[in-house]
Structure 1
Amino acid sequence: MFSSLRIRNYRLFFIGQVVSNTGTWMQRIAQDWLVLSLTGSSAAVGITTALQFLPMLLFGLYGGVLVDRLPKRPTLLVTQSAMALAGLALAALTLTGHVQVWHVYLAAFFVGLATVVDNPARQSFVSEMVGPGQLQNAVSLNSANFQSARLVGPAVAGLLITGVGTGWAFLLNGLSFVAPLASLLLMRGRELQAVRRAPRGKGQLREGLRYVAGRPELIWPIVLVGFIGTFGFNFPVWLSAFADDVFDGGAGSYSLFNTLMAAGSLVGALLAARRGTARLRLLIVAAAGFGALEIVAALAPSYWLFAVLMVPIGICGLTVNVTANTAVQMGTDPAMRGRVMALFMMVFMGGTPLGAPVVGWITDAYGPRVGFVLGGAVSAAAAITIGLVLARLGGLRLSVGWHHGHPRVRFVARERELAAASA
């Protein structure tokens, strides 16, 4: 489960990310709650989320082209420093009492700009640290790292918000970037896997798009995470609305919902680290389960049932993320990985600017339950549709029958059925 941590460079990277990710989750919770406090609007929270992910939608592919040209470690030093400055600036405004909602919007957009390059650089840098043999394990542990921080960050943010205010959460996030910066500086360059960088040239963006379009094993997982990222991952909108409007629980409940979802996500990440392979079948099942669980949670009649359902939602959501991420990375040529992962992250995260304001408006107009049901229904429908497409491309068809007196639904090879019919 933890085999890639034996590699020194990756171990340093992992430790730095634990600290930084904890600060990032603290800022996310504090940022959403600050906007809700300033405006009283779920739509405003959706706008904040949209602004943070809008740069990925607009410039994500160009970020991938840059990442394929640039050395990854110096690039990450620049992007991580930029995000640290954004956190410190927001802390100063909040602690001095001068913060306004447009300041939060601007900070979210600036972090999004840094993320355009930071995300594909971090994703593709993993393979340089660990090599292909440990890539699946390292990607899964990265997700476990992120979700572990998600357990601690919201809890600490909830205490800080109720105790001393949101400004301290922003300050601690800004300071937390010292850890990843130090880890990058302490790495041994000679132990990194050499990867051929793409030379500067025309048509590299189109080349990356053609590369993905010609490979069904890449394009369909990316399409699926696009639907789920756009409509199914708007948790800042839904959970803040459920905490404030449905259950009257305040910031403490919002923090609890995020913490329980993180616990489920951590379990999902550790299970992924043990598996060793990324099967598209598992991706489809996890995506369908994710959508179905969101619908069930939206209709939950009690506070604690809703809270408990955050755990399996976290497991399924993380399984979708890790399985799609690993399948796409392992199916991509290293020289194209920056552009392909930029497209992956642009679709997964960049869809949020499109979905978050719409979901926020529906949540404000028709209530949190309707908004949550919509997100789950779209996710489940996308999973089923793309599962059928992949099955058809793979020469499979859905078979419904009985086995030892019990109904059985499975995919079978068309050739097998034709052979059985001719016999």
Structure 2
Amino acid sequence: MPKPRSLYRSLAPLRHRDYRLFFTSYLISMLGDGVWLVALPWVAMELGGDSSELALVVGAEAVGLISCVLVGGVLADRFPRKRVIGWSFAASFAALGMLTVVHVVGDLMVWQLVGAAFVLGASAAISGPASDAFTPDLVPEEDLHSANALESTVRSLTMRMVGPALGGVLISLLDSMSVIVLNAVSFGVAALCVALIRPGTSAGSASEKEAEAESTEPVPYRQALSYLFGERWLWVLIVWSGVVLLLQSGPRQVLLPFLISDRLGGDARDYGLLIAVTGIAAVVASVILGARKPPKDYARWMLLAWTAGAAPLALMVFVPSFWLLLPMAAVYGFFSTVGNVYWSTLVQTVPSKVRGRVISIDWLGSLALVPLSAVIAGVGTGRAFMVTLFVLGGTLPVLLTLATLRWVDLGALRPPGEAVEKPEEPVPAQREPQIAAPPVS
């Protein structure tokens, strides 16, 4: 049977019924989240909130995300991942539904919005590691790379482009609370899709029953930590990504808008265009990755792609025109997406019993230092301070990559789905004929 190629290769994971349901739930929930990003500030303002109260709402979601992510990893390894994801979606549906009910009664206040935002952040922290750990249970290993590329395409389209645009249109036509209702419905439909996944029919490396049996065994947290620190490539790359996010998040999220406004004479539309270019480049990268076979030197290409995406930050602060930022944003969007897809696929090869906790530790390593990066970017003023942070943010990842390549043998890591040659077993002489068992899906 010929292997999938080009576009067919990128869509190959959708051959499997359970993954189609899971992918549909992912698509719908991501679209709702993109709409939520636009609706949230308008709801807060309609309730009479000022900038400090809006910051409190946004901060509550971030606190829920960071504080519950390790709990999400434990639940993903302790309970069936289908249930963890479904109940997380149901919790988000309930929180947004309560906001809607209170709004209809007419007593909605900012503190209630803060509580709902915390629940949404906590639900994302619990469903995220479980979702990442669940994908290998739904598709065979040779389709894992394409599945992550497909999910990356959806995430870029919904969170950066379609979702925010749809939210803006709906708010202009209806009102912001109606968009909140739409997001609640999206979580309800996503939970229903997950509930329709049939136990025991997954096409992954283990059946749902086997995965459930493994996940219910009491595995101590120290076993996950023992595995993590026993695999040098794993913990080194988690530390690498955390340090790079510390170096880059603040300049990109806090200082770049001021660079566009104060130094290059741009406005909010220019900043929006920059984000759109980043999103388009990310979509292009995801589509290309999904259509191509993974390279043999998988982990090394991943690290080099991340580095190529990080390096242009050092040049952004020196450009004389806003238009020169656009190709740099495209480079960042393209290569950072390549690295992220490779990493998502690679970390999903972790053994199932500890996969959820390892992924949650990776999430925590990525999330925990982002607020610190924003604080560092906000404490200084002046051109010299901005230049220093941009240059360090673009050059230090290159040095970290060179050190990592010398210390960790990334070439020894096998790309997911690569066939491993095994010696043929000798056929016993005078074997009784047997009826072939039906294939296991």
For normalisation by structure 1, the TM-score amounts to 0.77
Partner SS, residue 87 of structure 2 = helix
Correspondence for 1:284: 303
User: How far apart in 2 are the matches of 1:368 and 1:162?
Assistant: 39
Correspondence for 2:25: 16
Equivalent position amino acid for 2:86 in 1: L
Q: In the alignment, is residue 392 of structure 1 matched against residue 411 of structure 2?
A: no
Q: Residue 311 of structure 1 is aligned with which of 330, 337, 359?
A: 330
CA deviation after TM superposition for structure 1 residue 123, in Å: 0.5
What are the superposed Cα offsets for residues 223-282 of structure 1, whole Å, 9 maximum, x if unpaired? 1221234443466545766787775644x5555443332211111222332242572222
User: How far apart in 2 are the matches of 1:90 and 1:245?
Assistant: 39
Partner SS, residue 311 of structure 2 = helix
Q: Give unmatched runs, 5+ long, in structure 1.
A: 397-423
Counterparts of 1:174-185 in structure 2, within 5 Å, are 174-185=184-195
Q: In the alignment, is residue 217 of structure 1 matched against residue 226 of structure 2?
A: no
RMSD: 3.7
Correspondence for 1:347: 365
Correspondence for 2:286: 269
CA deviation after TM superposition for structure 1 residue 197, in Å: 2.2
Q: Residue 140 of structure 1 is aligned with which of 149, 152, 167?
A: 149
Contact persistence 1:243–1:254 (CA under 8 A): yes
Equivalent position amino acid for 2:34 in 1: W
Equivalent position amino acid for 1:225 in 2: S
Q: Residue 78 of structure 1 is aligned with which of 64, 75, 87?
A: 87
User: How far apart in 1 are the matches of 2:261 and 2:97?
Assistant: 28
Correspondence for 2:4: none
Q: Which has the higher helix share?
A: 1
CA deviation after TM superposition for structure 1 residue 389, in Å: 2.6
What are the superposed Cα offsets for residues 328-367 of structure 1, whole Å, 9 maximum, x if unpaired? 222x1122111111111121233334334444x34xx537
Partner SS, residue 276 of structure 1 = coil
Contact persistence 1:329–1:337 (CA under 8 A): yes
Partner SS, residue 305 of structure 2 = helix
User: How far apart in 1 are the matches of 2:234 and 2:90?
Assistant: 32
CA deviation after TM superposition for structure 1 residue 148, in Å: 2.0
- Percent of matched pairs sharing the same residue: 23
User: How far apart in 1 are the matches of 2:332 and 2:158?
Assistant: 17
Greater shift in the superposed pair: 131-140 or 228-237: 228-237
CA deviation after TM superposition for structure 1 residue 213, in Å: 0.8
Contact persistence 1:26–1:156 (CA under 8 A): yes
For normalisation by structure 2, the TM-score amounts to 0.74
Correspondence for 1:401: none
User: How far apart in 1 are the matches of 2:51 and 2:346?
Assistant: 41
Equivalent position amino acid for 2:288 in 1: L
User: How far apart in 2 are the matches of 1:300 and 1:91?
Assistant: 47
Q: In the alignment, is residue 3 of structure 1 matched against residue 9 of structure 2?
A: no
Counterparts of 1:139-218 in structure 2, within 5 Å, are 139-150=148-159, 151-160=161-170, 166-192=176-202, 193-194=206-207, 195=211, 196-199=213-216, 201=218, 204-218=220-234
Correspondence for 1:112: 121
Q: Residue 336 of structure 1 is aligned with which of 354, 360, 382?
A: 354
User: How far apart in 1 are the matches of 2:276 and 2:384?
Assistant: 20
Correspondence for 1:325: 344
Equivalent position amino acid for 2:360 in 1: A
Contact persistence 1:297–1:306 (CA under 8 A): yes
User: How far apart in 2 are the matches of 1:91 and 1:248?
Assistant: 38
Going from structure 1 to structure 2, the CA distance change for 1:293 and 1:174 (only over 3 Å counts) comes to farther
Correspondence for 2:40: 31
Counterparts of 1:393-412 in structure 2, within 5 Å, are 393-394=408-409
Q: Give unmatched runs, 5+ long, in structure 2.
A: 1-9, 412-441
User: How far apart in 2 are the matches of 1:59 and 1:208?
Assistant: 17
Equivalent position amino acid for 2:366 in 1: F
Partner SS, residue 177 of structure 1 = helix
